Amino acid sequence: MHNAFWDHLKEQLSAAPPDFSCALELLKEIKEILLSLLLPRQNRLRSEIEEALDVDLLKQEAERGALNVPHLSKYILNMMALLCAPVRDEAVQKLENITDPVRLLRGIFQVLGLMKMDMVNYTIQSFQPHLQEHSIWYERAKFQELLNKQPGLLDHTTKWLTQAAADLTALPLTCPDNPNSSSMACPSPNEAANSPEPLSPTMVLSQGFLNLLLWDPENEEFPETLLMDRTWLQELKSQLHQLTILASVLLVASSFSGNVLFGSPQFVDKLKRITKALTEEFNSRPEEAMLTVSEQVSQEIHQSLRNMGLAALSSDNTASLIGQLQNIATKENCVRSVIDQRIHLFLKCCLVLGVQRSLLDLPGGLTLIEAELAELGQKFVNLTHHNQQVFGPYYMEILKTLISPAQALETEVESL
């Protein structure tokens, strides 16, 4: 309600004799809100509210000039204290200290609005499992209808999972090149070089979902079961690419200043903001973007060291820093390649272990973007989880042809 209503209410209640027309309108609306907060089984409370806030009776009292607004407000507050969620207890208690009737009614109306939202959220949460279950069933049924008409509708999906299984049995790739400066060693991605394990449905599906983040846009054979999610996957792929560039910049920059500067969350956040802002057009102009980033980051490091009374970077180190940052523009850059592999490893762990467990043991170079990784990982897990719930039966039928009974049995025994 607008301020004009409350001003008008104040004028009416202050008049001699008082005019209760606005107050009655407000009490009627408050009664409706209180009734809407009740559960179906709370019949006794429903009858009590109907009786205490009987509009016809209140109208008669108002006509006699006997409407007791403070008494009614106290009753409403007691009912609110009974019905509100624990998070609203403090707000209701504060209302009890208000003596001005108009301010009290206004406060009551505002808190009741919050209580209505609490009830809406509670109702949505209560129905969410049922809605999700219905959505899963509906999507699967519609897909089955299409599959009945087009028996080859799973051909691309089969090819996608076949490739994922083949990837798991292939040797992992090594880092493509070495950095130019000795200050940044090129670590081998040994995280991905684990000894071969028996194939399992979970492993194959996880690899398949990861492959979608590397999908060639020109490849028209996109899995049929993921066509509805293709836009979301493209968005996740874009976020992954942005995080790869961001983490690469932070890793290179930290190698020149170490904990002296990167021990400060404020400094790290500032470099993040600078890098994100300057790399928005990285895809179209990577060299130009990284040239700007390299200049700005080196200036920030130089200025921060000077502010702390420390020696600035030497001209050679400054030139090396700028050069390494500019090299991130190339896809073959070693730092960028390793960071990209490690983010993919993190996402794979998220699919198998969950996001929170995966955050406990982040690969090197990713700790500075932990919050961003957690957000990306959760989005990826949510998308793949829903997809598996819908299309899981189809995936299992395909995987039966890709995983030998011996491998499946071995995996099942190891998981016990």
DSSP for 238-279, written as a single string: HHHHHHHHHHHHHHHHHHHHHHHHHT-HHHHHHHHHHHHHHT
Cβ atoms of 170 and 123 within 8 Å: the answer is no
pLDDT at 389 over 60: yes
User: In the prediction, which pLDDT does 186 show?
Assistant: 39
In sequence order, what are the residues at sequence separation of 6 or more whose Cβ sits closer than 8 angstroms to the Cβ of residue 393?
140
154-213: per-residue pLDDT in tens? 999 999 999 999 998 874 543 333 333 333 333 333 444 344 567 889 999 999 999 999
User: In the prediction, which pLDDT does 177 show?
Assistant: 39
Q: How far is CA 339 from the centre of its chain?
A: 22
244-274: per-residue pLDDT in tens? 999 999 999 998 886 788 888 899 999 999 9
Of 403 and 232, the structure prediction assigns the larger pLDDT to 232
User: Quick check: helix, strand or coil at residue 187?
Assistant: coil
Angstrom distance (rounded) from CA 188 to CA 202 = 26
Pick from 7-16, 171-180, 331-340, 390-399: least confident: 171-180
pLDDT bin (cut points 50, 70, 90) of residue 410 is: very low
| Sign of CA pseudo-dihedral 243, 249, 251, 257 | negative
- Both tokens of residue 387? 């997809």
Angstrom distance (rounded) from CA 265 to CA 355 = 23
The mean per-residue pLDDT over the stretch 365-388 comes to 94
Distances (CA, A) of 158 to 136, 164, 208, 333, 399: 21, 10, 11, 34, 8
User: In the prediction, which pLDDT does 197 show?
Assistant: 62
DSSP tag of 200: -
Angstrom distance (rounded) from CA 329 to CA 342 = 18
The mean per-residue pLDDT over the stretch 380-394 comes to 94
Angstrom distance (rounded) from CA 394 to CA 199 = 18
Angstrom distance (rounded) from CA 369 to CA 354 = 18
User: In the prediction, which pLDDT does 114 show?
Assistant: 92
pLDDT at 327 over 90: yes
Would you list the DSSP string of 141-159? Answer: HHHHHHHHH-GGGGHHHHH
Residue with tokens 């009737």: 101
Pick from 52-66, 139-153, 355-369, 394-408: least confident: 394-408
In sequence order, what are the residues at sequence separation of 6 or more whose Cβ sits closer than 8 angstroms to the Cβ of residue 25?
none
What percent of the chain stands above pLDDT 90? 53
Half-sphere exposure of 122 (CA within 13 A, CB side): 12
User: In the prediction, which pLDDT does 405 show?
Assistant: 61
Q: Which pTM was predicted?
A: 0.65
Residue with tokens 């170490």: 258
In sequence order, what are the residues at sequence separation of 6 or more whose Cβ sits closer than 8 angstroms to the Cβ of residue 28?
53, 55
Of 213 and 14, the structure prediction assigns the larger pLDDT to 213
Mean pLDDT of the chain: 85
- Both tokens of residue 252? 């290179």
Go through the chain and tell me how many residues it has.
Answer: 416
Angstrom distance (rounded) from CA 315 to CA 298 = 11
pLDDT bin (cut points 50, 70, 90) of residue 71 is: confident
Angstrom distance (rounded) from CA 232 to CA 223 = 14
DSSP tag of 173: P
267-281: per-residue pLDDT in tens? 999 999 999 999 988
329-355: per-residue pLDDT in tens? 999 999 999 999 999 999 999 999 999
What percent of the chain stands above pLDDT 70? 88
